[in-house]
Chain A
């Protein structure tokens, strides 16, 4: 009987044949914490009796969620992280370097076949690199920091077969929003998902990250893809390390297989206050917005900024809209600058904020006011997510957000291309 991707990765890291339902203790290739979770993990580290981290080269902390610090409480927690990482001798990415889920792939430490835990739910992003990476809490993180191991229940897998190729103006964000709308917010709880099919193969590596990033929004433990030439070409920009790709066996057993026709897809929007409250953009078009956000670990990559600039070039944002842009890393910021993208965005009226999470999680950088509507490229639109429970958040692709910033209301980006 064949194995799924996650069964194979858990087998190779636990030294036993892992099948859905088994419990295994697996070796970790990399362990990551960010400023929302690491401070508690530092406390748990002491509580667990930790002295040193298992391997300094395979651990990193990232200060990205509230960066730079908006108040003294946050500053104290950042200081705690800096001191701890210095004392233990491992890497800390400080403010302005970017979002953890951009930095780990760019570090070259994560690739096909890797097993990674991160104390952040969107750690599933690296599934697009054919890695099993998953989000954990602070105590599991502390256990991983100390032992380099974690226990896992081997999940069953749902396979999405995405046929056809996305039409112009429709992006990977639209595809994943559509799939989440179809299976709902808990459609893959306790499960892994694999994304396959012509539509996935046709996407750039950057666009694929957006899909794996949002696997958690259907409850999934991992959002896995197979590696191809595009994956390896992308990795070669950052590392010369060799990775061994992991493919699913043809006779692997899936809990469920779902097909979709990507060629028929329209731009999609998730309406407040649920990520699975998804409609084609026509179902929300015309809704006035006061704030637009481009960035986050979902859609803050170079390609995303380029798509936005394609729409904003030579135009101005609507006078009733604030447009906030947060590149996902310093490297993305620099590349976008070299390409003239930042010039275009700022000329159109965008406000650039520090590479990192930006306003995504409501600590700073653009908290909306009561009764306001935000359209964002982020991955969550929960009530209060951006710091105000009396605001509404719509989620969409960078193209849809850029088009909406121009018109001042939710707009189908195909009107601009």
Chain B
């Protein structure tokens, strides 16, 4: 899996209420509609600023807070290519994999807002083309790679009729 785009920087502990506020998520299952409000409490107008394939780049504990799957979905439907963070909150991390949003654990301190990045997930490396540096990526657990390779939990289930980690 290969991705290319521009970095949009955020800090530590970006919670799911910031990613998509509860006041919107209860109203609709239309993810395109939710996507318009993604990150708006932290950065008003983020949805307009982000180009297809751009990255959200954050500090530690990204996605902490509620278990709402609308959070990774709203990011995905805003056409963000991947989320890069120093660490992720556990539930968000699972939800992202299950819904097919790539999440990348790495040292994001080496990335600045606006940096042009390309990511090769198989090779486990980020190329910061603006800075000319290479940043290693923490590998995903084998189970998650299996689910991602099947395209998320739904295709995994359809393919195997349930969990299949053998």
Contact = CB atoms under 8 A, between A and B. Distances in A.
A35 B22 CA distance: 12
Contacts of B95: 136-140
B139 to A, nearest CB: 14
A19 to B, nearest CB: 15
B41 A384 contact: yes
Contact of A139 (B21, B69, B142, B158): B69
A153 interface: yes
Interface of B: 12-13, 15, 17-18, 21-23, 25-29, 41, 60-61, 64-70, 72-73, 87-91, 94-95, 98-99, 141-143, 152-154, 157-158, 161-163, 165
Interface string A137-176: 1111011001101010100000000000000000000000
Interface of A: 23, 25, 35-37, 39-40, 43-44, 47-49, 65-66, 71, 73-74, 77, 119-121, 123, 135-140, 142-143, 146-147, 149, 151, 153, 185-186, 189-190, 219, 221, 274, 361-363, 380, 382-385, 387, 389
A363 B26 contact: yes
B29 A143 contact: no
A35 B67 CA distance: 12
Contacts of B18: 382-384
A48 B67 contact: no
Given A23-B143, A140-B98, A384-B17, 14 more contacts: A49-B154, A74-B26, A120-B66, A137-B69, A137-B95, A137-B98, A139-B99, A143-B153, A186-B12, A186-B87, A189-B90, A219-B89, A362-B21, A384-B21
Contact of A119 (B15, B67, B141, B143): B67
A34 to B, nearest CB: 9
Interface-central residue, B15, B22, B67, by most chain A CB under 10 Å: B67
Given A23-B141, A139-B98, A380-B17, A66 B61 contact: no
Contacts of A119: 67, 69
A48 to B, nearest CB: 4
